[in-house]
């Protein structure tokens, strides 16, 4: 038989107990050199500390993880813990585990644990000061983050907390499960029907594992369709490429990422067109200015790209970069090369534009653009850009320069006179 079965009372006429039964699968045997080797048949660990969960002889029960004598006469720790059978009997001579606990204690895997105690405090987050205010004696009301509150624990005959990585715990008609390698979790989201498994919601995995998009803990994220993030609070997590809330790209089917916590780079959209601008990727239905819809953008038959139009082409026909429809306003103009195929030329194009022109417009029906501004060193004259030639100074500028020259010369003469006269007297 795998694990252990704890049944405190059987219904008359039935072969198996049905009032209360706790089953834990694949429990480890006690360490041969451990403190419970001679007194326990089943052990478990809490934060690396080995605890006994079933004593090897009737009349002995686990209290704070250690087997204690429970009858003829019972150890004081058993009495203090309020350990009884699930039916409430104080006669423990025929059992090896506790079925319920008293005030200041809670039930965990067949043993009673002190609230706020060395081991109990690792499982239950209740404080000693809150013991008296607990609505139901013998019940932990708040579990540590690596445990979840047993939804069936409405009284002290049920295990209060279940480990987030627990394989399975059956409590009456309900079966609760944790998630393998899960270190933080919350109770199952919704109740299931009788005998259906209720699985905890894992929110953080152990250090070596990633929390997958399905809530399990895995060795790595699924390549191409997921990316990962990592931080101290939430550990390692996997997200779908389309999860924009967590640095993914809306509508993305496949992606890559350079390092944990880096924004995902989409490589293929689910149905839209993939657009890349300055290294950032988006999935769009309309490619926008400077791009055209390319349904044959790559090796994949499903890959649809927003490919860039030719240089200085503002809009171009879908399917090709060279069929321009409009150009960058002000600095380029559109010419029809062949049929409906357009090409963008600079205003200063030597053949079709105005040489040395910096800004222009192309009137409707005109063969050449009209220049509105020439480049540096040129001036607009008769629709053409001609050399500005030498620099001509205005009358005011000449007058200003003359005055400045007179002032400088006068100052120099005055200084020389002072120098020679004063020095001569000295």
pLDDT in tens, 8-53: 333 333 333 322 333 333 356 888 777 888 899 999 999 999 999 9
User: Do you know the residue count of the chain?
Assistant: 426
**Is 333 a residue whose pLDDT tops 80?**
yes
Please check whether residues 178 and 65 belong to one and the same domain: yes
Lowest mean pLDDT among 167-176, 217-226, 265-274: 167-176
Per-residue confidence at 401, pLDDT binned at 50, 70, 90? low
- If one compares 251 and 367, the residue with the highest pLDDT of the two is 251
- If one compares 414 and 38, the residue with the highest pLDDT of the two is 38
Please check whether residues 86 and 123 belong to one and the same domain: yes
Lowest mean pLDDT among 107-111, 191-195, 248-252, 394-398: 394-398
Residue 396 within any structural domain of the chain: no
Percent of the chain with pLDDT over 70: 81
Last residue of a domain, one of 387, 406, 421: 387
Please check whether residues 145 and 245 belong to one and the same domain: no
Residue 235 within any structural domain of the chain: yes
Please check whether residues 272 and 167 belong to one and the same domain: no
Last residue of a domain, one of 201, 235, 260: 201
Residue 64 confidence (pLDDT): 97
Round to whole Å and give the CA distance between 37 and 43.
9
Average pLDDT over residues 290-309: 80
- If one compares 268 and 22, the residue with the highest pLDDT of the two is 268
Residue 399 confidence (pLDDT): 58
- If one compares 403 and 355, the residue with the highest pLDDT of the two is 355
Round to whole Å and give the CA distance between 348 and 6.
92
Average pLDDT over residues 361-371: 89
Last residue of a domain, one of 201, 235, 270: 201
Per-residue confidence at 238, pLDDT binned at 50, 70, 90? very high
Mean pLDDT (the chain) is: 84
pLDDT digits (tens, 9 = 90+) for 48-76: 999 999 999 999 999 999 999 999 899 99
pLDDT digits (tens, 9 = 90+) for 89-132: 999 999 999 999 999 999 999 999 999 999 999 999 998 766 55
What's the total number of domains in the chain? 3
Residue 3 confidence (pLDDT): 35
Please check whether residues 156 and 25 belong to one and the same domain: yes
Residue 82 confidence (pLDDT): 96
Residue 343 confidence (pLDDT): 87
Lowest mean pLDDT among 48-62, 101-115, 153-167, 402-416: 402-416
Please check whether residues 96 and 233 belong to one and the same domain: no
Residue 145 within any structural domain of the chain: yes
pTM higher than 0.75: no
Contact status, residue 146 vs residue 155, Cβ threshold 8 Å: no
Residue 210 within any structural domain of the chain: no
Please check whether residues 246 and 354 belong to one and the same domain: no
- Domain carrying residue 362: 329-387
**Is 194 a residue whose pLDDT tops 60?**
no
Residue 342 confidence (pLDDT): 84
**Is 393 a residue whose pLDDT tops 90?**
no
Please check whether residues 24 and 172 belong to one and the same domain: yes
Please check whether residues 301 and 225 belong to one and the same domain: yes
**Is 210 a residue whose pLDDT tops 60?**
yes
Residue 311 confidence (pLDDT): 87
Task: Tell me which range, 215-224, 291-300, 414-423, is most confidently predicted by mean pLDDT.
Answer: 215-224
CA dihedral 142, 144, 145, 147 (to 10 degrees): -90
Please check whether residues 185 and 39 belong to one and the same domain: yes
Please check whether residues 337 and 295 belong to one and the same domain: no
Please check whether residues 32 and 65 belong to one and the same domain: yes
**Is 378 a residue whose pLDDT tops 60?**
yes
Residue 225 confidence (pLDDT): 96
Lowest mean pLDDT among 24-33, 170-179, 304-313: 24-33
Residue 163 within any structural domain of the chain: yes
Residue 128 confidence (pLDDT): 72
């Amino acid at each position: 038989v795998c694990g252990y079965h704890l049944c405190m009372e059987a219904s008359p006429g039935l072969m198996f107990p049905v009032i209360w039964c706790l089953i834990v699968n694949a429990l480890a045997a006690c360490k041969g050199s451990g403190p419970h080797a001679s007194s326990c048949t089943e052990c478990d660990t809490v934060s690396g500390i080995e605890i006994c969960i079933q004593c090897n002889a009737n009349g002995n029960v686990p209290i704070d993880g250690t087997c204690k004598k429970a009858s003829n006469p019972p150890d004081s720790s058993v009495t203090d813990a309020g350990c009884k059978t699930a039916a409430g009997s104080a006669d423990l001579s025929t059992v090896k585990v506790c079925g319920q606990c008293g005030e200041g204690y809670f039930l965990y895997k067949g043993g009673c644990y002190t609230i706020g105690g060395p081991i109990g405090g690792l499982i239950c987050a209740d404080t000693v000061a809150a013991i008296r205010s607990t609505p139901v004696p013998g019940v932990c009301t708040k579990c540590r983050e690596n445990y979840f509150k047993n939804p069936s624990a409405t009284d002290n005959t049920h295990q209060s907390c279940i480990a987030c990585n627990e394989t399975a715990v059956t409590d009456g008609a309900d079966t609760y499960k944790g998630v393998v390698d899960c270190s933080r979790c919350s109770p199952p989201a919704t109740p299931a029907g009788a005998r259906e498994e209720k699985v905890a919601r894992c929110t953080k995995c152990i250090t070596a594992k990633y929390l997958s998009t399905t809530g399990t803990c895995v060795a790595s994220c699924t390549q191409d369709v997921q990316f990962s993030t990592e931080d101290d609070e939430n550990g390692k997590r996997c997200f779908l490429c389309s999860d924009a809330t967590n640095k993914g790209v809306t509508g993305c089917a496949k992606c890559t990422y350079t390092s944990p916590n880096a924004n995902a780079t989409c490589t293929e959209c689910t149905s839209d067109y993939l657009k890349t601008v300055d290294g950032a990727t988006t999935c769009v239905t309309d490619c926008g200015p400077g791009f055209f819809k390319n349904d044959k953008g790559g090796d994949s038959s499903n890959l649809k790209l927003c490919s860039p139009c030719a240089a200085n082409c503002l809009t171009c026909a879908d399917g090709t970069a060279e069929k321009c429809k409009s150009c960058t306003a002000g600095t380029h103009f559109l010419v029809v090369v062949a049929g409906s195929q357009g090409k963008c030329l600079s205003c200063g194009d030597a053949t079709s534009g105005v040489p040395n022109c910096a800004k222009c417009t192309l009137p409707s029906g005109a063969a050449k653009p009209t220049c509105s501004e020439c480049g540096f060193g040129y001036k607009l004259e008769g629709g053409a850009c001609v050399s500005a030639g030498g620099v001509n100074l205005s009358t005011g500028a000449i007058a200003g320069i003359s005055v400045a020259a007179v002032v400088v010369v006068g100052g120099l003469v005055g200084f020389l006179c002072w120098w020679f006269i004063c020095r001569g007297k000295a």
